[in-house]
Chains A and B, each alone.
Chain A
Amino acid sequence: MSTQDAINTATRKLLERAAPGRVAFEDLVVVPLFAILVALILGALTMLATNVDLATIGRSYVALLQGSVGSLNALSETLTAAAPLILAGLGLALGFRAGLFNIGAEGQILIGGMAAVICGFSVPGLPFAILLPLCLIAGGVVGAAYASIAGVLRATTGANEVISTIMLNMIAFRLVDYMLRLPWVQRPGRSDPVSQSVPPSAELPRLLDWIDPNLRVHAGIFVTLLAVAFVYWLLFRSKLGFEFRASGASPSAARYAGMRAGLVIVLAMATAGALAGLAGANQVLGVLGRASPGFSAGIGFDAIAVALLGRSHPVGVLFAGLLFGALEAGGRQMQVDAGVSIDLIGIIQALIIVFIAAPLLVRAIFPWGFRRGDSGGAS
């Protein structure tokens, strides 16, 4: 009896998640807008508190807007910054849906990116149509393998994946540092740890360099969009995705329904790792062209925020990633134009997430703008 109940509850939960009601409009549109507005206001207050005058604050927000969506170049930068965030965020979102809290995207990006670089310069003779896909696949597969370590440990011994992925991040940093000094990886003639460059035939081609060679947006955005579609299909249209979500919503119900919990954990981690590895490959093949120590630059940690902000839904992750990419690109412009440190963006990002993830808090601050008597929060 209790088994049946548990399965019913799990099914209902899944239905609620898959088909949000009309109330969702407030949560999906009103709350984020309030959140961004309040975060910007609080960001301005922070600037005031650090002796930035009002004119500069105005100028910095104009620069933020211009730098993110104000020109073709700005849009290009936004998309370039958003792509790896979305890719890694998708992987994390998938893990969250399966009940796995994977902090390891940073390490998976590093290892996956490293694999893509090595693949790129090891077989430079191959034509573009073979080499580029090969490098992307190398990044994905190695990222998946690296993430699977945590998955297998969780499935076989129950080792907490939060701890093991944190440790794997630390290991990945050291491993990349070590590999960058290997004679067959390090760029000839350099004493600092920098890898050889990937050949042009392994690079993700730039899309708009025929307009202006400085436009950095590259074919990685197509990989990203494909990944969004794939994760959507995987999560909501495939049997495996159903098992992921069922295991996340109610592990015991999933087990009683005959799903193999261990396998689900390993597969979910592997898929998440493949996406993070792709994000790493996307960075080295599309933007950096080579690997250097810590080239992941915190993308894996920002991706956690992106996944949370996107409510672990592929489309949500897409928009959250675009927002974070825009803030990133605009923040750089802000630093140049107004001399305000880009670190302000970190504050604004954190505040946006607070207000989105705690609808009750937004409702407490802004009692108007919401229908009365509607007390449910989506998170």
Chain B
Amino acid sequence: MTAIPDRQAAAPIVDRAETRRAQITGGVMIALALFIVLAFGDAAGDATFRLSRVRDTWVIGDLIVPARPFIYVAAVLTAFLGARLFLRGGGRWTTLSLGVGLILLVIAFLLWATAGNAFSLTGMLQATVVRAMPIALGALAAVFCERVAVVNIAVEGMLLAGAFTGALMGSVLGGWGGLLSAVVIGGLFGFILAALVVTYRMDQIIAGVVINLFVLGLTSYVSSQVFAEMRHLNNAPVFRAIKIPVLGDIPVIGPMLFHQNIFVYGALIMVAVSTYYLFHTRNGLRARAVGEHPRAADTLGIDVYWTRYVHVTIGGMIAGFGGAWFTLGSVGRFDENMTGGRGFIALAAMIFGRWHPVGALMAALVFGFTDSLQQKLALLNTPIPSEFLAMAPYIATIIVVAGLIGRARAPAADGKPYIKE
């Protein structure tokens, strides 16, 4: 807080815009606090959150919270943070405060919905992680592409292609064969995208839209033309959850992270590896250089075209893996357009996560959380129509993207073709 006057002196122009943003954000948060009181203030009774199942190795007791006092505490905290932002300007606290405010809103909502009832928190968190994975993998694929300045609208199509290939080849070759094929096909579409935009200099957005259309057309066509008659081609085995010994027995965290299928483990490992690769290796630095200033990278002897081909293809492979989740990771059966816009959500998660693998994962978890929350709340019969619960993540995304954008910056050359002289 003491740093604020210094910064004002140093950069008055930036500061004015930032102060305004902080004030808007502060206003929004005060409104949120009012909303919490008005909407959730009538909660009565205790909210019981179940943390363990009876047959777990280590059982811990239920978390019992008196709903109304805690809701008021959440509202007061939100209002306090909002007022502070509004009056004093936020600086680097703006984003953090908004995040905390939204989390408090969710907590208040959960307390209100659960008041006088019981609810399995662990089950919801486990579902959160599962549902976040295709989004996280799609977002990671997009990070790889955008870091080398190729906008990848085609994530949706690549996920769908992965799902389709997983079901088809999984039925023929078994689970691992299907998974491998899905990765290969995803990579193939990544390569096609790279060829179209790098070699044939097609507009990147058009290329992405076209791949989406093409994959949607092809998979729907095959599924209605072939799968309808030959059902044995659309009946793949499903990867079951694997429990990691000891770690999987930890309450709450165990079921969340260490009792999942290979897609969850794969995604977590890939996020870690790509973070290391992009930010701590020479090749990663080169890739980012291609994304920020291709001409300079070229001058330094980095092959811009090759780098783009490689990374977009890798991105496609990751998306193919993520796509296989829909069939091999959950139901084993392909349905037309079964990704249902998750690829676009993944793009939002990537921007939300500031073009960083870990950020993308966190953003994906937020989407997964609201997704599973909506499902579980259907059991608690809240008076809110389920459609509004389903909207919540999207509204939250809009608020966050609007509030965060000052800090989220795309790679400088994003979307621009590079023409070697």
Q: Which residues of A contact B (CB under 8 A)?
A: 46, 50-52, 101, 103, 153, 156-160, 162-164, 166-171, 174-175, 177-178, 181, 304-305, 308, 340-341, 343-351, 353-354, 357-358, 360-361, 364, 377, 379
Contact of B24 among A157, A163, A350 (CB under 8 A): A157
Asked if residues B347 and A166 are in contact (CB atoms below 8 Å), the reply is: yes
B210 interface residue, CB < 8 Å from A?
yes
Contact of A46 among B210, B221, B402 (CB under 8 A): B221
- With A157-B21, A160-B401, A341-B221 already in contact, the answer to whether A50 and B200 are too (CB < 8 A) is no
Asked if residues B209 and A308 are in contact (CB atoms below 8 Å), the reply is: yes
Asked if residues A153 and B402 are in contact (CB atoms below 8 Å), the reply is: yes
- With A166-B348, A171-B395, A354-B196 already in contact, the answer to whether A345 and B217 are too (CB < 8 A) is yes
- With A347-B214, A347-B221 already in contact, the answer to whether A170 and B401 are too (CB < 8 A) is no
- B221, B222, B344, B406 — most chain A CB neighbours (10 Å): B221
- A103, A157, A353 — most chain B CB neighbours (10 Å): A157
A-binding segment of B106-114, B234-242, B309-317, B382-390 = B382-390
B405 interface residue, CB < 8 Å from A?
yes
Contact of A360 among B201, B387, B388, B390 (CB under 8 A): B201
Q: CA–CA, A351 to B199, complex, Å?
A: 17
Q: CA–CA, A343 to B205, complex, Å?
A: 22
Give the total of B residues in contact with A, Cβ under 8 Å.
47
Q: CA–CA, A170 to B206, complex, Å?
A: 22
Q: CA–CA, A354 to B397, complex, Å?
A: 32
Asked if residues A174 and B391 are in contact (CB atoms below 8 Å), the reply is: yes
Question: DSSP majority for the B interface?
Answer: helix
B207 interface residue, CB < 8 Å from A?
yes
Asked if residues B218 and A347 are in contact (CB atoms below 8 Å), the reply is: yes
Asked if residues A358 and B200 are in contact (CB atoms below 8 Å), the reply is: yes
B226 interface residue, CB < 8 Å from A?
yes
Using Cβ atoms and an 8 Å threshold, which residues of chain B touch A50? Answer: 221-222, 225-226
Using Cβ atoms and an 8 Å threshold, which residues of chain A touch B205? Answer: 101, 308
- With A346-B221, A354-B196, A360-B200 already in contact, the answer to whether A175 and B387 are too (CB < 8 A) is yes
- With A178-B387, A350-B217, A353-B213 already in contact, the answer to whether A167 and B196 are too (CB < 8 A) is no
B202 interface residue, CB < 8 Å from A?
yes
Asked if residues A357 and B201 are in contact (CB atoms below 8 Å), the reply is: no
B381 interface residue, CB < 8 Å from A?
no
- With A158-B406, A163-B397 already in contact, the answer to whether A361 and B217 are too (CB < 8 A) is no
B398 interface residue, CB < 8 Å from A?
yes
Contact of A174 among B203, B207, B390 (CB under 8 A): B390
- With A159-B402, A358-B202 already in contact, the answer to whether A341 and B220 are too (CB < 8 A) is yes
Asked if residues A157 and B403 are in contact (CB atoms below 8 Å), the reply is: yes
Asked if residues B214 and A159 are in contact (CB atoms below 8 Å), the reply is: no
Using Cβ atoms and an 8 Å threshold, which residues of chain A touch B402? Answer: 153, 156-157, 159, 164
Asked if residues B210 and A353 are in contact (CB atoms below 8 Å), the reply is: yes
Using Cβ atoms and an 8 Å threshold, which residues of chain B touch A340? Answer: 225
- With A167-B348, A379-B203 already in contact, the answer to whether A349 and B387 are too (CB < 8 A) is no
Q: CA–CA, A47 to B361, complex, Å?
A: 40
Nearest residue in B to A161 (C-beta to C-beta)? B401
Q: How far is the CB of A268 from the nearest CB of chain B, in Å?
A: 17
Q: CA–CA, A304 to B206, complex, Å?
A: 9
B139 interface residue, CB < 8 Å from A?
no
Within 8 A of A (CB), among B163-215: 196, 199-203, 205-207, 209-211, 213-214
Using Cβ atoms and an 8 Å threshold, which residues of chain B touch A351? Answer: 214
Asked if residues B218 and A177 are in contact (CB atoms below 8 Å), the reply is: no
Using Cβ atoms and an 8 Å threshold, which residues of chain A touch B206? Answer: 308, 353, 357, 379
Q: CA–CA, A178 to B385, complex, Å?
A: 8
- With A304-B209, A346-B220 already in contact, the answer to whether A164 and B398 are too (CB < 8 A) is yes
- With A345-B217, A346-B213 already in contact, the answer to whether A160 and B351 are too (CB < 8 A) is yes
Asked if residues B388 and A178 are in contact (CB atoms below 8 Å), the reply is: yes
Using Cβ atoms and an 8 Å threshold, which residues of chain B touch A159? Answer: 398, 401-402, 405
- With A170-B341, A346-B220, A357-B203 already in contact, the answer to whether A153 and B398 are too (CB < 8 A) is yes
B216 interface residue, CB < 8 Å from A?
yes
Besides A166-B348, A174-B388, A346-B221, 9 new A-B residue pairs in contact (Cβ under 8 A), listed by A number = A50-B226, A156-B402, A168-B394, A170-B341, A305-B213, A347-B218, A353-B209, A357-B207, A358-B200
Using Cβ atoms and an 8 Å threshold, which residues of chain B touch A163? Answer: 347-348, 351-352, 397-398, 401
Q: How far is the CB of B211 from the nearest CB of chain A, in Å?
A: 8
Q: How far is the CB of B202 from the nearest CB of chain A, in Å?
A: 4
Q: CA–CA, A168 to B210, complex, Å?
A: 22
Q: CA–CA, A163 to B394, complex, Å?
A: 10
B224 interface residue, CB < 8 Å from A?
yes
Using Cβ atoms and an 8 Å threshold, which residues of chain A touch B226? Answer: 50-51
Q: Which 6 A-B pairs have the closest CB atoms?
A: A346-B217, A350-B214, A343-B220, A343-B221, A178-B387, A350-B213
Q: CA–CA, A178 to B387, complex, Å?
A: 6
- With A162-B347, A340-B225, A341-B225 already in contact, the answer to whether A357 and B213 are too (CB < 8 A) is no
Using Cβ atoms and an 8 Å threshold, which residues of chain B touch A167? Answer: 348, 394-395, 397-398, 401
Using Cβ atoms and an 8 Å threshold, which residues of chain B touch A157? Answer: 21, 24, 402-403, 405-406
Nearest residue in A to B349 (C-beta to C-beta)? A163
Q: List 15 A-B contacts (CB under 8 A).
A: A46-B221, A157-B21, A157-B405, A163-B397, A164-B401, A167-B401, A305-B209, A305-B210, A340-B225, A341-B221, A347-B221, A350-B210, A357-B202, A379-B203, A379-B206
Asked if residues B401 and A361 are in contact (CB atoms below 8 Å), the reply is: no
Using Cβ atoms and an 8 Å threshold, which residues of chain A touch B406? Answer: 157-158
